[in-house]
Amino acid sequence: MDIVELGALGELIGGVGSAVGGIAVLATLIYLALQVRQNTSAIRASSSQEWANATSEIFMRIGGDLESARIWRIAQRDPEALDDDEWESATYMMMAACRIFDSALHQAELGTLDETTRAAMNTNIRESFELECYRKFWQGPRWSYSARLESFVAEECGIARAA
């Protein structure tokens, strides 16, 4: 075999190697795309479960304690009927809920909540702020919530924070 034939053979082997390499790169990209999609689904499922767990924990604490249930029932119906200690207790319940709302809005902003959970969370926030106790709470001392929650409450619920 002369040098020309060896050169041609080298080009042929190189071409086959490039084709195989290109196929390998393409297969790797497809595999990675599938992994990213699967990971995104897993993150969304986890975020949705965390939101459900956090809200369930509040429900169980209120429902599992007769005094908390009594205070929450009065707060929802007539917050002005609560004494100072009862209002303080109700305030902590609403603070906990607002922390969950704030976190869920952040997860939604990041795209880690599925549409069904995001819609349920938005409805939950709007319906909570239809209650007079939440409206009163929101105008009380400034708790540390994100601008994201404050904007949502202002835009979706029509309640701006007092300065």
Closest to 50 measured CA to CA, from 95, 123, 99 = 99
Q: Answer yes or no: is pLDDT of 10 > 70.
A: no
Model confidence, pTM: 0.71
In a domain, 116, yes or no: yes
In a domain, 15, yes or no: no
Look at the block and give the residue holding tokens 């939440």. Answer: 134
Tell me the residue range of the domain where 58 lies. 46-157
In a domain, 115, yes or no: yes
Q: Which of 12-21, 39-48, 129-138, 140-149 has the lowest mean pLDDT?
A: 12-21
In 64-114, alpha helices (H): 66-77, 84-110
In a domain, 136, yes or no: yes
pLDDT-derived band at 117 (thresholds 50, 70, 90) equals: confident
In a domain, 78, yes or no: yes
Angle among Cα 132, 60, 71 to the nearest 5 degrees reads 40
**What span, in angstroms and rounded, lies between the C-alpha atoms of 8 and 26?**
27
In a domain, 140, yes or no: yes
Closest to 111 measured CA to CA, from 35, 39, 34 = 39
Domain count, the chain: 1
User: What share of the chain in percent tops pLDDT 90?
Assistant: 39
**What span, in angstroms and rounded, lies between the C-alpha atoms of 129 and 115?**
21
Helices (H) and strands (E) in the chain, counts: 6, 0
- Across the range 60-69, mean pLDDT stands at 88
